[in-house]
A and B are shown apart, each in its own frame.
Chain A
Amino acid sequence: MGFLEAVHLGIITAIQPASLFFCFVGVTIGTLIGVLPGIGTSGTVAILLPITFNLSPVSAIIMLAGIYYGAMYGGSITSILVNIPGEAASVVTCIDGYAMARKGRAGAALGIAAFGSFIAGYFGIIMLAFLAPALSRLAFDFGPPEFFSLMVLGLTLSTYIGSGSILKSLMMVVLGLILGCVGQDPITATPRLTYGSANLLDGLDMVPVVMGLFGLSEVMLNIEQNENRIIYQAKLKGLLPNIDDWKRSLLPIGRGSVLGFFIGIIPGGTAMVSSFVSYAVEKKFSKHPEEFGKGAIEGVAGPEAANNSATMGAMVPLLTLGIPSNVVMALFLAALMIHGTPPGPMLLVNHPELFWGVIFSMFIGNILLLILNLPLIPLWVKLLEVPYKILFPLIILFCLIGAFSVSSTTFGMGIMILFGMIGYLMKKYEYEAGPLVLAFILGPMLETALRQSLIVAHGSFSIFMQKPISMVSLVITILFLLFPLIPFLKKRWS
């Protein structure tokens, strides 16, 4: 399919009434969960995943994508006005965004966050449209060794996502792999770790597991704390940044867009990581680094651009290789599998309308978000006033319904509750859930690729070093695994 033909197909698919409707629904829900602290993107996508079962694959992915990038826009509102990040990716926006609000410049901060996200969003979509087909063609030559090594690299890099210990994250990766083994063996269909339960033969369902780990556990943690939100009360004015604001923000937005996109592509790179890197870069580049933390607009523009661009970058490995780079992308993988449209190099060949339709819907979605985020900011601020004691029972109920809807049995609900408790304890004892979920979802694919590679190579691990992409991935993996040992070795030598 030629590029112009693909563009035509994408536009036709994206402007269908159903696509427009689900794009609107997605970005609205995304903004909503971005605004409301206490429920993240992963939890929301997991909760809404069963609802998409009745939709067409295009509508489903358009809506889920809308939630993902919509949350990046919404997250900045709470960061700037309440100093509470609605989304993990907006944590860094609190620093200068809230400082700007306290100086009476909340409007400019919100404005530049929205415009920065918009520009970065468009940059990311264009890059995705050009890069993904090229990478997809390259991926046709990939065999089990390449996929295995890339997945190992992705899982290793995922241990660097969070703020916690890398060793603990590695333990969670292994635990995720073990959970992924539950069910029938992918090659011989032998039941493993099922303990005679027919419900476990197909493995642990991902939706209740993710809902428990990210939805229920979050509620349990939030409810035990005494809430104290101070919402910026003054009337919002000047949402359009002035010329000086633009002068100071254009380069950070540009840098944030490029950085965010490429960090998003890296397995394990998340919107949150990209926003932190962008903040550090802007502080380094700034002529007035002393203003950072006291209301520097560059500290809002760069990270907000980066986190939005990263969401687009994250789509590249998923759509072209079928390898998710973070938890939300892993949920997208599940959604695509459920709808019979497995991602990977064949997606562009077999379902071009899905690939190009989603890309062009993102162009529309970003315009919708700009409209939703600028004139409607007072409405989102009002929503912030909804007390958590009203919200949390609703979140729990949606988790229960979502878990029930997967198999129409109470088994899914039980799994959700169990993983809710596990997730709660994990957060208490500082174990990251992200690497666990990523490994849990990639586990069966990783195992198949490993076993196929070993069978082909008659048990020799050298097969992983014979293919260039596989070798490079494994070398990078080893370097990242050895990286935490450097301070220890330095100490010993000195």
Chain B
Amino acid sequence: MRALKNNDRVTSLLLAVLGSYVAFEGYSLKIGSLQDPKPGFLVFWAGILLTGLSLLLLIKTFRSLEAGSISPWKGLQWQKGLKIVIYLIVYVAVFKWLGFLISTFLLLLFLFKSLESQRWGTALLLSAGTTILCFFIFGYFLELRFPLGVLKMF
């Protein structure tokens, strides 16, 4: 039998709360009856089921003799994943304003340079080359409408 970890307690509780909230939303949408199910029917029962299953997992973590705590973050450079998410959020925020070309070039430069140490020359060349190539392939050949952003002025 797999060792149930303490981590499961936290996630099962979170999912139980989420399930309860969804059930409440389903109830607000109107459940209807078996003869005439309304829009909230599946939402409500799915919420109840998620809550029930989460509580079952929670109970299992307390009953399991093999319970222990293994951190899924230990010995790993999780900060890198966090950095990626931050860069991406900033990228989406400035995408329309700076346009595809500038924002993508900067994103790639950050990814090449700050997460894994690339040489400046390589990072610049790869970022510029990839951005221009993608712009032509997706924007020109596949007719995707990328925003030009500040470059629109030129």
Contacts and interface: CB of A to CB of B under 8 A. Distances in A.
B2 A451 contact: no
A187 B107 CA distance: 43
A177 B46 contact: yes
Contact of A223 (B25, B115, B118): B115
B150 interface: no
B88 A177 contact: no
A199 interface: no
A51 B144 CA distance: 9
A459 B7 contact: no
Given A393-B111, A417-B89, A454-B37, A429 B96 contact: no
Nearest to A431: B11
A178 B134 contact: no
Interface of B is mostly: helix
A367 interface: no
Interface string B113-139: 001101000000010001000100010
Contacts of A429: 7-8, 11, 72
B37 A165 contact: no
A6 to B, nearest CB: 33
Nearest to A439: B46
A447 B92 contact: no
B108 A397 contact: yes
Contacts of A181: 42-43, 46
Interface in B49-89: 49-50, 53-54, 56-57, 60, 72-73, 76-78, 80-81, 84-85, 88-89
A405 B92 contact: no
A223 B114 CA distance: 12
Contacts of A414: 92
A248 interface: no
B50 A405 contact: no
A392 B96 CA distance: 24
B145 interface: yes
Max chain A CB contacts within 10 Å: which of B35, B88, B118, B146? B88
A455 B11 contact: no
Interface string A316-340: 0000000000000000000000000
A451 to B, nearest CB: 5
Contacts of A400: 88, 91, 104
A389 interface: yes
Interface stretch (A90-98, A188-196, A271-279, A295-303): A188-196
The number of chain B residues touching the other chain, given as a range, is 35 or more
Given A224-B80, A404-B144, A410-B92, A392 B111 contact: yes
Given A223-B80, A401-B138, A188 B39 contact: yes
B142 interface: yes
A231 interface: no
B22 interface: yes
Contact of A193 (B25, B38, B107): B25
Interface in A185-232: 185, 187-188, 190, 192-193, 216, 219-221, 223-226
Contacts of A175: 15, 18, 50
Nearest to B131: A397
A454 B35 contact: yes
Contacts of A168: 8, 57
Interface residues on A, range: 35 or more
Interface in B26-55: 29, 33-43, 46-47, 49-50, 53-54
Contacts, number: 152
A269 interface: no
A475 interface: no
Given A167-B53, A389-B115, A389-B116, A454 B34 contact: yes
A487 B1 CA distance: 10
A424 interface: yes
A260 to B, nearest CB: 27
A188 B37 CA distance: 11
A405 B145 CA distance: 8
B36 to A, nearest CB: 7
A390 interface: yes
A392 B126 CA distance: 12
Contacts of A178: 22, 43, 46-47, 50
Interface string A414-452: 100100110010001101000000000001000100110
B138 A405 contact: yes
A54 B141 CA distance: 10
Contacts of B112: 389-390, 393
B20 to A, nearest CB: 12
Nearest to B79: A224
A171 B35 contact: no
Nearest to A53: B142
Contact of A397 (B7, B130, B142, B143): B130
A383 interface: no
Contacts of A54: 142-143
Contacts of A284: none
Contacts of A454: 34-35, 37
Given A223-B77, A224-B77, A455-B35, 17 more contacts: A54-B143, A167-B53, A175-B15, A178-B47, A181-B42, A181-B43, A216-B88, A219-B84, A225-B77, A393-B130, A396-B84, A404-B146, A410-B96, A431-B11, A451-B37, A454-B35, A459-B35
18 contacts: A165-B2, A167-B56, A167-B57, A171-B50, A171-B57, A192-B29, A192-B43, A193-B22, A216-B84, A221-B81, A223-B80, A223-B81, A223-B116, A396-B84, A413-B95, A417-B92, A451-B42, A454-B34
Which 10 pairs between the two chains have the least Cβ-Cβ distance? A459-B34, A389-B116, A459-B35, A220-B81, A185-B39, A393-B111, A428-B72, A190-B39, A224-B76, A174-B50
